Chain A
């Protein structure tokens, strides 16, 4: 199933790339109105949202109803860990989307392999589930690391964050933050 998802992500990438080229040819100055980075983010986010929603919505519906958690001997922390896991998964999908698209764009198999491997690892960790320390902890750490990696892939850096926080001129920050390859569309 993980492999299927990654295949779908790849298919999405191909489709978006084509659309990007199409839009670029259509637009007046040869640049597409939406950069590949943004598309990567959006596609990752949508993967994440759908995945998260499908995972958690039945649980949410049940949590609104009468009942006791873990009455049959399961963990009483079921709901809250589900919530955290879903959050981690949504974020992870978003990050993986960005990294994946970037790796495909630059044809770096390493990035691809790491994304797929990371996905498999996370899914594998959830197999350990009632043992929450082993599954939830590493997953959250992995989310953080992947997030930092995606951030740097998208062109961000510590300096950018500082600049952003010190409320400097926005356009500059955005240039450095989002694209090292493309000049961003004019305001």
Chain B
């Protein structure tokens, strides 16, 4: 039961999907700070023939577009102009992704710093059965590695299951799964979150008000995410559920396991997206072959599809009500439900490759970039863990934040060069981990000493 509601309900759908897949070019990131960009952008033109979308060769409509845009690309006069255009748009996209990632991280860090609940240890997920309360360091390390192995294998199994379901067109099942998990996120986790926040600030709220608030929040969220809604509202909801999910992870993953899992997840992401037999890559390719968008609840898109703008200019005005997700992303979906009372699992996780979406309108080029929600979640887990457990407090948190943004920038840069689905996790998480450990152990004592004597260097 995949909800293709947003896509199958309108007659423009087929156009949406096809034109959305017709990304003739993806926005290269013009990092003005990067000297290499110049040469890379030059190469990017050679790459322009490559379809933006992994493994999809220009065929049918895309073929026409591609060859059409291929020829002008060869002419240097137009080349430069396109470069500049793509550079301009590319920078915009980096910013468009910075903002939601930053917002998500801010929400997570603010919650961690203020609400005690998320830093208390109240048990663990059943996915991480080994406890870390062991006396010896070796034992603890072993337990965390075992936890990681279990977690990653659960993720792999779930992803493969999802891909199989998708391949064999069990859309109803997937649809139901997604709806169930977003229901849980939007209602149950929000209820817990709201309860804890109210407890922290000692604000009394009666049940009817609470019910009303949560009902409205959840219902609007479900509609926005799975059906149609204003783009910004949908983006806001996606950010919120990513933050909620990240908070759950931060609470329920024991410390060393969390770091090892972060590392392992980024390696897994790298392999799943880039290896030819990787589940995520297969998912994306299958979706592209069928010209279908990938599950709407798992991807954050930064721009809208002004699709049918080609033939019907007035639909461009209706654009805002149809945020579509394009078949660029994936969904490694994972259902799990961490509750202290265990049992029932359903949490959605989708660490995913980021991919450019290019909407090619004849009148206006509105390009957007998509990032999977799993990426949001893991970035926030990294920063949240840094905020929760680092003794250097804010310095470490900031350093991790900057590291993740740098990683994101570099990933988008690579995206511009390669123009296919790329895993967004590895670079950022690697930088984040490096920065976390080095800041916590090297920079923090230094800065503390400086601050205590009020020395400014």
Is A27 touching B84 in the complex (CB atoms < 8 A)? yes
A residues engaging B (CB < 8 A)?
1-2, 5, 15-19, 21-23, 25-28, 33-34, 39, 50, 53-55, 57-59, 61, 78, 81-82, 85-86, 89, 122-123, 126-127, 129-130
Report chain B residues within 8 Å CB of A25. 38
For window 26-51 of B, CB contacts with A under 8 Å fall at 30-39, 41
| In the bound complex, CA of A81 to CA of B30 (Å) | 40
Given the known interface contacts A22-B37, A26-B87, the answer about A126 and B402 at a Cβ–Cβ threshold of 8 Å is no
16 A-B pairs (CB sep. < 8 Å): A1-B457, A19-B31, A21-B38, A22-B37, A22-B38, A23-B32, A26-B41, A26-B84, A39-B32, A58-B392, A58-B393, A58-B395, A58-B447, A123-B455, A129-B453, A129-B454
Least CB distance from A28 to B in Å reads 5
Is B32 touching A53 in the complex (CB atoms < 8 A)? no
Q: Is the interface of A mostly helix, strand, loop or mixed?
A: helix
| In the bound complex, CA of A106 to CA of B81 (Å) | 31
Is A50 touching B454 in the complex (CB atoms < 8 A)? no
Report chain B residues within 8 Å CB of A55. 447, 450-451, 456
Report chain B residues within 8 Å CB of A78. 454
Closest to B77 in A: A28
Set A17, A34, A86, A129: member contacting B455, Cβ < 8 A: A129
Listed from nearest, the 8 A-B pairs whose CB atoms lie closest are A22-B38, A18-B35, A57-B394, A129-B454, A126-B456, A19-B35, A1-B457, A123-B457
Given the known interface contacts A34-B32, A39-B32, A126-B455, the answer about A53 and B398 at a Cβ–Cβ threshold of 8 Å is yes
Closest to A125 in B: B456
| In the bound complex, CA of A16 to CA of B450 (Å) | 31
Report chain B residues within 8 Å CB of A122. 456
Set A5, A18, A58, A81: member contacting B451, Cβ < 8 A: A58
Closest to A53 in B: B398
Q: Is the interface of B mostly helix, strand, loop or mixed?
A: helix
Report chain B residues within 8 Å CB of A26. 38, 41, 80, 83-84, 87
Is A23 touching B38 in the complex (CB atoms < 8 A)? yes
Is A81 touching B454 in the complex (CB atoms < 8 A)? yes
Least CB distance from B454 to A in Å reads 4
| In the bound complex, CA of A18 to CA of B31 (Å) | 12
Least CB distance from A135 to B in Å reads 9
Report chain B residues within 8 Å CB of A57. 394-395, 398
Least CB distance from B114 to A in Å reads 11
What total of A-B pairs shows CB separation below 8 Å? 90
Report chain B residues within 8 Å CB of A129. 453-455
| In the bound complex, CA of A1 to CA of B402 (Å) | 20
Is B41 touching A123 in the complex (CB atoms < 8 A)? no
Is A28 touching B81 in the complex (CB atoms < 8 A)? yes
| In the bound complex, CA of A61 to CA of B41 (Å) | 43
Set A53, A58, A85: member contacting B456, Cβ < 8 A: A85
Is A58 touching B394 in the complex (CB atoms < 8 A)? yes
Set B33, B36, B38, B83: member contacting A16, Cβ < 8 A: B33
Is B38 touching A127 in the complex (CB atoms < 8 A)? no
Least CB distance from B274 to A in Å reads 27
| In the bound complex, CA of A89 to CA of B398 (Å) | 19
Least CB distance from A75 to B in Å reads 9
Least CB distance from A65 to B in Å reads 11
| In the bound complex, CA of A5 to CA of B456 (Å) | 12
Set B39, B454, B455, B457: member contacting A22, Cβ < 8 A: B39
Report chain A residues within 8 Å CB of B84. 26-28, 33
User: A2-B457, A22-B35 given. 9 additional CB < 8 A pairs?
Assistant: A15-B33, A15-B34, A22-B36, A26-B83, A28-B81, A33-B84, A58-B395, A89-B456, A129-B454
Produce 1/0 per residue, B1-44, CB < 8 A to A: 00000000000000000000000000000111111111101000
| In the bound complex, CA of A123 to CA of B450 (Å) | 11
Report chain A residues within 8 Å CB of B453. 129
Report chain B residues within 8 Å CB of A86. 456
Closest to A34 in B: B32
| In the bound complex, CA of A83 to CA of B216 (Å) | 44
| In the bound complex, CA of A123 to CA of B455 (Å) | 7
Is A19 touching B451 in the complex (CB atoms < 8 A)? no
| In the bound complex, CA of A85 to CA of B453 (Å) | 13
| In the bound complex, CA of A130 to CA of B455 (Å) | 10
Set A28, A53, A82: member contacting B454, Cβ < 8 A: A82
| In the bound complex, CA of A1 to CA of B31 (Å) | 28
| In the bound complex, CA of A123 to CA of B453 (Å) | 12
Least CB distance from A97 to B in Å reads 13
| In the bound complex, CA of A127 to CA of B455 (Å) | 6
Report chain A residues within 8 Å CB of B30. 23
Least CB distance from A16 to B in Å reads 6
| In the bound complex, CA of A53 to CA of B38 (Å) | 32
Least CB distance from A1 to B in Å reads 5
Given the known interface contacts A2-B457, A28-B81, the answer about A59 and B451 at a Cβ–Cβ threshold of 8 Å is yes
| In the bound complex, CA of A85 to CA of B455 (Å) | 10
Is A61 touching B393 in the complex (CB atoms < 8 A)? yes
Is B454 touching A126 in the complex (CB atoms < 8 A)? yes
Report chain B residues within 8 Å CB of A85. 454, 456
Report chain A residues within 8 Å CB of B456. 55, 85-86, 89, 122-123, 126
Given the known interface contacts A25-B38, A123-B456, the answer about A54 and B398 at a Cβ–Cβ threshold of 8 Å is yes
For window 205-220 of B, CB contacts with A under 8 Å fall at none
Produce 1/0 per residue, B374-397, CB < 8 A to A: 000000000000000000111100
Report chain B residues within 8 Å CB of A127. 455
